[in-house]
């Protein structure tokens, strides 16, 4: 199983969107400072995820969620969290 996921920084409330095979491990890597693009904004909270059968489908969903309009929808949906 593969996942597209979205996490939110507790520091500046930015949302990060990614895809992976193991969500717990990936979130741990984000919060442990092992991901260059997210380490300055730790800690991160998991907002949600979507399951996919293949890596390609999860990556395709990640790219779709990263479009401007979809990112704004996520920001508005989770603005109070």
Total number of domains constituting the chain? 1
- H helices within the chain, ranges in order? 23-31, 55-65, 68-77
Give the pTM.
0.92
CA distances from 65 to 9, 26, 58 (A): 17, 18, 11
- 30: domain CATH number is 3.40.1440.10
pLDDT digits (tens, 9 = 90+) for 15-36: 999 999 999 999 999 999 999 9
Regions of the chain with pLDDT less than 70: none
- Which residue range is the domain that position 63 belongs to? 2-77
């Amino acid at each position: 199983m593969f996942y597209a996921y979205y996490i939110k920084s507790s520091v500046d409330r930015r949302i990060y969107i990614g895809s992976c095979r193991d969500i717990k491990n990936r979130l741990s890597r984000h919060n442990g400072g092992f991901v260059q693009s997210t380490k300055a904004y730790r800690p991160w909270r998991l907002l949600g995820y979507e399951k996919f059968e293949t890596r390609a489908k999860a990556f395709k969903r990640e790219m779709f969620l990263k479009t401007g309009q979809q990112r704004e929808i996520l920001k508005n949906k989770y603005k109070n969290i």
